[in-house]
Amino acid sequence: MKMTNRWNQFIYRLWAPIYDATVGHFFLPGRKRAIELLNLQPGERVLLVGVGTGADLPLLSHGVQAIGVDISPDMLARARQKLPLPGRAVTLIQGDAHALPVAEKCYDAVILNLILSVVPDGHACLKYSLQALKPGGRVVVFDKFMPDKNKLSLGRKVVNWFSTLFGTDITRRFSDIRAGCPCKIIQDEPSLLRGTYRVLLLGKNVNGI
């Protein structure tokens, strides 16, 4: 099944009431590690793309200014229930990860937790996230990716047809998503399910190319 924004809005309307109480707990260790790698400092501006129910928000360091963007109004409604957060200035807005409604080159850090495998076009999501980032800024990614050395089997294609019905793609390679984007991998480490999920710290190229 081809993923679309319209389908994602529908399926995450269904996920919104149960996400935190079900899969949200499973993903928490990966989220914590990702934000730990960012080493956020007071006064920094951080952009959360695909903020969802706001599971990352309580993990942010005190003193940061955060903007959370998500295409699902139902997920955002759940995120707003977590606000306010003492010591953190958080604004939530509805928007498309393929064309982020934020200014360019004004964020110190970007969080892409469990979004690159969810949006219809992971490459476009990363590209626009990098545009919002200051030169020399950093991005953290927590998500599942196929290893580059693995071929896409028929079985995985079949399973992926069903997984996309629930709002996620299990056939994406990070190397394909990153191709042509002005960033470098600073750290890449295995996370949940024996490395099926990974945490990556990226740096935006200073010259923007």
pTM: 0.95
- Tell me whether residue 60 is exposed, middle or buried, using C-beta atoms within 10 angstroms of its C-beta: 0 to 12, 13 to 18, 19 or more: buried
Question: Residue 24: helix, strand or coil by DSSP?
Answer: helix
Question: Residue 74: helix, strand or coil by DSSP?
Answer: helix
Question: Does residue 209 carry a pLDDT above 70?
Answer: no
Percent above pLDDT 90 for the chain: 88
Question: Does residue 195 carry a pLDDT above 90?
Answer: yes
Neighbouring C-alpha atoms within 13 Å toward the C-beta of 56? 33
Question: Residue 20: helix, strand or coil by DSSP?
Answer: coil
Residues 107-139 have pLDDT tens digits of: 999 999 999 999 999 999 999 999 999 999 999
Put the strands of the sheet holding 183-190 in their side by side order. Answer: 89-94, 65-70, 45-49, 107-113, 133-144, 197-204, 183-190
Domains in the chain with CATH codes: 5-204 (3.40.50.150)
pLDDT of residue 157: 86
pLDDT of residue 208: 56
Smallest CA-to-CA distance from 56 within 74, 37, 93, 30 is with 30
Angle among Cα 200, 132, 205 to the nearest 5 degrees reads: 55
Question: Residue 189: helix, strand or coil by DSSP?
Answer: strand
- Tell me whether residue 92 is exposed, middle or buried, using C-beta atoms within 10 angstroms of its C-beta: 0 to 12, 13 to 18, 19 or more: buried
Counted residue by residue, the chain has a size of 209
Question: Does residue 27 carry a pLDDT above 60?
Answer: yes
**pLDDT category, 58, cuts 50, 70, 90?**
very high
Question: Does residue 202 carry a pLDDT above 90?
Answer: yes
**pLDDT category, 206, cuts 50, 70, 90?**
confident
Residue 168's H or E segment, with its range, is: none
